[in-house]
Structure 1
């Protein structure tokens, strides 16, 4: 009895093994005849909503996984099938269910696109995406969610959405292109990406890497409600973009509809802002000298305006906080406004970045960058407890930067420096005929010695308290060309102090001896003075001194003449005389008794003296 049951069991096992072997052998035939070709193309169309065309001959693999290998596959829009396909892949590997294949069904478990070309265009939300069809499993799910959103329901009921599995999708060595002037222009290359989205009602993850403008970029994104996001509803969203030049991350919620909305925390960080500008092709790259940059803020906005509140910003070694507002106007040029307060602030990078001329005082003479001021409209209020400009220390700074429609203005409305108060304005007006530059400086109650040292004017500079006013205006493509063609005025007045860089006794002695001599020969000393006054007009870059005098008791030291900026030459006359008492009507009783008169020639850096007369 036992032997008979044993024989029956062996027969049953043998039959089962035979059936399994037959099924395995028959599987490629069954699959190739019932699934591959039109059936797979039809199922892919039903899944994606695109018109799928498979040109190459499909191949079915059983081991190690049951899958189909498709070649030369196109995904096109049904309404525009004559155009270039939205997606074209040299090869697609599709993971299939073996049991579903035996039943004559198709179930995709995974999809891998090898060397695909994906075409994108600007969507209503402003993002560049492949055109998404309204049909197909995904399209129908998005449309169902969209109808639920229109009905006023806060969140779609998962039971009301299609339950078809979507699985995972992978891209290897892909490219993204877009149409520019009728030609395909590559946006991203060497794309490797993986997306997991089990079903329309579940969360999704995306991880990708690509090359953009020669730099490798990695992207990680996730959302708990991808269908709601795709349908134009508000949904949680987090993403990070990382590259060597910069990184950007966001955590919050977004709505990608015709009227997009975003709210959350954003963080931007770069070890070199200049490198970012060069990488992205921004024209300010040649001007800015700001190194590391960091922006960390909560943002709230839509396609018209984004507000950065509780903003923390670091530019180089300058850390500040405040509120920023970025508006996207109809002219296509964004406008950035706001207020930032710094503990310490270096103004040199701001001057270089926001003005179209390169200043010799900051970065060496250079030509104007005509596109830098056109990148954005700016209206920024800056304040700092401590600041510097060209190594000049400032305290309690209040400044404004404005850039709009070719007009660039940097105003220092208030700052403490040199023991007094500083007010300054730099203005650039770009016109069709060229750039017009204007600079104004008013230094009140400043220490003359400190002021002169800061501007490298230590020779014959009064050391007492005084006021200096400078106005320059002229055309040019660089600071040198502006000053060479500038018109304006310079005035200054100082109280008791001294004239540095002059030994008066040695000067009088050397002048009395006759013959040329360099001012450097009599520069080891200083002359005490009770007051000093300077007035000059500037015409086409030539300084014409109207009044330059200093008094020491009844002794008067004076100069007049011209000093052209081009060539830095000198053509001055001067003298040292005894002042005479004035009459009751304020006129001098007699001409001053001259101790010495002389001619000053040479250059600004190396003047020489030639006696005109001696007592």
Structure 2
């Protein structure tokens, strides 16, 4: 500092001191307390309930400090206590003998916010405190340092905000509320910036939130004094939608299907409704465009509806993330449909191409329709390997537990092409049609499986069955029975038609007709499969179309790995009419 600057600063301090000295200052504790309390109440909207002591300091800048300050909002929605409240005095009013404040610091406040029982949303929690601030004609700059907020319903803590450091800028009548700061909520550090208009008409509104689970930015306007409408551009992203929802207190089974999400949209907020128009959503990098709406459904339940379209979607990845229980008769736990129907959903998605556990689909239209006690989903249409696929699953709460209806249909599907993507079909080729319809009800999986009724139909034309050379087996059996068992499980069997029809009742699938026909043979299969134990108990016969030779087989064991065996004990020579198991078993 130069000598000249020092002289000027000293002179200014002397002048200010003289001016202050000319005033009739009464700095008694009572006046300090009254003035400070009045200023705090006027500029913050708080009602001061009590203080421990008041102090005033003029240097290095004038301020009043209140210790152990208890306060509340006039409607009692908010109350608390601060270790210290510092009110920073304005210099010019002070020179005229008046106390006026331009900034109020709340140091380490513990704030209680009263919320309605059962409310679990940030919007509901902050509505009352913000409404009180909105009623203020003016407001000093408020700085919160190291505070905590306790959200209580009937005295019970619902949630806690910790490490609150917040700056609410000074504002005059009709000016917007501007705040910025950081906090830790449910263990996640978060930075927040908000501009919120406090008057009717059209005014700018903005919000940004940054945390490890969410990046959000909104720029728009709010209009309407009574029921405001907010319009603007929204952009948000999250590395994990399920974790984000759990952060907000929402544990949704269906949301577990989602992973990383980015969303941009024209947002319109109305009371009890949020519309996302021109929405662009990216699910794990796959883009969907359309319209989404969040609203309040029947009984106050949250409702989601929307129509989206895109180029590609991995449906299998979404389904595999769901916590779907294994269908096991040994599981005696009750079927819990309520957990899957906690929110109303009406969602339609169309994509040019989709994958479902390896299967490639095209021109796909799928849907999800959920209401309380009702869950429905399926493929309205889908192209697949030259044919088409349709599915429908409906689960409804019923007096008997859960009522299930399952329908699936494949039309003219090239099974050979499909087998390149679905290894389970690797043994079969041809153009196939399949129909399945099942109905059942029960409180457990065992009851459900035992009650199932329905039908299944399969028809395949001009194909091959790998893993069995039936024509070669018949030819060897006619010429040299001793060689009949050699290598018959290798090779392929071409067929002209394969049909299978089954009825389902009492937890048992019974083949009513199952036949495969080729130029030199006819293969028949009969028996049943237990849905409860997932085991097969079937017999088959392979007959030559040019002789009386007939070979018996058995198909038994677990569905996943059954034993398909030639019954040598019943093998009879067409030439001699005598059994020769010894020859076949050497």
Normalization by structure 2: what TM-score? Answer: 0.82
Candidates 378, 395, 403, aligned match of 2:345: 378
2:211 to 243, 267, 280: 243
Deviation at 1:411, TM superposition (A): 2.2
Aligned equivalents of 1:516 and 1:183: distance in 2? 80
Please say if 1:75 is aligned against 2:71.
yes
Deviations 1:557-606 (A, max 9, x none): 111011224443322111112459xxxxxxxxxxx934212333333314
Aligned twin of 2:404:
437
Relative to 1, partners in 2 of residues 1:506 and 1:281: Cα closer, same or farther, differing over 3 Å? farther
Q: 1:91 aligns with which of 81, 84, 90?
A: 84
Q: Is 1:188 aligned to 2:186, yes or no?
A: no
Q: Is residue 490 of structure 2 the alignment partner of residue 490 of structure 1? A: no
Measure the CA separation in 2 of the matches of 1:245 and 1:510. 69
Tell me if structure 2 keeps the 8 A contact 1:356–1:368: no
1:452 to 1:49, Cα distance in 2 relative to 1, 3 A: closer
Taking the aligned partners of 2:374 and 2:12, their CA distance within structure 1 comes to 87
Q: Distance in 2 between matches of 1:61 and 1:569?
A: 88
Q: Look up the match of 2:291.
A: 323
CA offset at residue 75 of structure 1?
2.4
Alignment equivalent of 1:120, drawn from 113, 121, 127:
113
Q: Report matched runs for 1:164-313 at 5 Å.
A: 166-223=139-196, 226-228=197-199, 233-255=201-223, 258-284=226-252, 288-313=256-281
C-alpha RMSD of matched pairs (Å):
3.8
Equivalent position SS for 2:256:
coil
Q: Distance in 1 between matches of 2:505 and 2:420?
A: 26
Specify whether residues 205 and 74 from structure 1 end up closer, same or farther in structure 2 by C-alpha distance, changes over 3 A only: same
Instruction: Give the unaligned 5+ runs of structure 2.
Output: 1-9, 117-122, 328-332, 574-586
Residues 1:557 and 2:523 aligned together = yes
Q: Quick one: structure 1 residues 460 and 269, their matched pair in 2 at CA, closer, same or farther if it must change by over 3 Å?
A: closer
CA distance in 2, matches of 1:482, 1:405: 21
Among candidates 607, 611, 614, match of residue 563 of structure 2 = 607
Shift in CA distance, 30/527, structure 1 to aligned 2, threshold 3 Å: same
The alpha-carbon distance between structure 1 residues 62 and 593, as it changes in their structure 2 partners (threshold 3 A), is same
1:371 Cα deviation from its structure 2 partner: 5.0
**Hey, what's the Cα distance between the residues in 2 that align with 1:15 and 1:180?**
58
Tell me if structure 2 keeps the 8 A contact 1:284–1:371: no
Q: 1:337 aligns with which of 280, 286, 305?
A: 305
Cα pair distance change 1:15/1:297, threshold 3 Å: closer
Which residue is 1:145 aligned to? none
Match of 1:447 among 414, 438, 454: 414
1:411-469: per-residue Cα shift (whole Å, max 9, x none)?
A: 212111122111111222234643333321110111233456666544763x2212111
Q: Is the 8 A contact 1:570 1:607 kept in 2?
A: no
- Residue 530, structure 1, aligned to residue 530, structure 2: no
In structure 2, relative to structure 1, the CA distance for the partners of 1:541 and 1:116 (3 Å cut) is: same
Q: Please report the TM-score for the alignment, with normalisation by the length of structure 1.
A: 0.78
Take 1:25 and 1:280, find their aligned partners in 2: how far apart are those partners? 57
CA–CA separation in structure 2 for the residues paired with 1:320 and 1:595: 58
Note if contact 2:48-2:72 (Cα within 8 Å) is conserved in structure 1: yes
8 Å CA contact retained: 2:114, 2:153: no
**Cα separation, partners in 2 of 1:483 and 1:560, compared to 1, 3 Å:** same
Q: Please report how far the alpha carbon of residue 305 of structure 1 lies from its aligned counterpart in structure 2 after TM superposition.
A: 3.1
In structure 2, what is the Cα distance between the partners aligned to 1:430 and 1:108? 63
Q: Residues 300-356 of structure 1: CA distance to partner in whole angstroms, max 9, x if unpaired?
A: 241143322211111113211112233323411122222111100111354467x88
Provide closer, same or farther for how the CA distance between residues 347 and 482 of structure 1 changes in structure 2, counting only shifts above 3 A. Answer: farther
Count of matched residue pairs: 548
**Conservation of the 8 A alpha-carbon contact between 1:74 and 1:85:** no
Deviation at 1:382, TM superposition (A): 1.2
Q: Within 2, Cα distance between the matches of 1:205 and 1:77?
A: 19
Distance 1:261 1:98 in 2: 41
* SS of residue paired to 1:42: helix
Structure 2 residue aligned with 1:6:
none
Query: What's the CA shift string for 1:372-423, capped at 9, x where partnerless?
Result: 5334211122111111111210011112211112212112121111221111
Sort the Cα spacing of 1:423 and 1:268 in 2 relative to 1 into closer, same or farther, 3 A: same
Q: 1:331/1:139 Cα in 2 relative to 1: closer, same or farther (>3 Å)? A: closer
Contact 2:184 2:190 survives alignment (8 Å): yes
Q: 1:435 to 1:256 in 2, by over 3 A?
A: farther
In the alignment, which residue of structure 2 is the partner of 1:51? 47
Deviates more, 1:280-289 or 1:605-614: 280-289
Verify the 8 A CA contact 1:249 1:268 in the aligned structure 2.
Answer: yes
| Paired position in structure 2 for 1:10 | none
- Deviation of the 1:357 alpha carbon: 3.5
Contact 1:73–1:88, Cα closer than 8 Å, also in 2: yes
Secondary structure at the aligned position of 1:268 is classed as strand
SS, match of residue 524 in structure 1: coil
CA contact 1:236–1:254 (8 Å) conserved in 2: yes
Structure 1 CA distance for aligned equivalents of residues 174 and 49 of structure 2: 29
User: Quick check: 1:357–1:477 contact (8 Å CA) kept in 2?
Assistant: no
1:42, 1:436 → 2: CA distance?
66
Deviation at 1:140, TM superposition (A): 5.8
Matches within 5 A, 1:578-593: 578-579=544-545, 593=548
Change in 2 beyond 3 A, CA 1:46/1:29:
same
5+ long unaligned stretches in structure 1: 1-13, 142-163, 361-365, 581-591
Could you tell me how far apart the structure 1 residues matched to 2:434 and 2:186 are? 50
Deviation track 1:137-176 (CA, whole Å, cap 9, x = no partner) reads x8462xxxxxxxxxxxxxxxxxxxxxx6x44210012222
Aligned residue among 587, 596, 604 for 2:551 = 596
Distance 1:533 1:15 in 2: 109
Separation of aligned partners in 1, 2:421 and 2:192: 49
How many angstroms apart in 1 are the aligned matches of 2:305 and 2:12? 78
Query: Is the partner of 2:32 in helix, strand or coil?
Result: coil
SS at 2:27 equivalent: helix
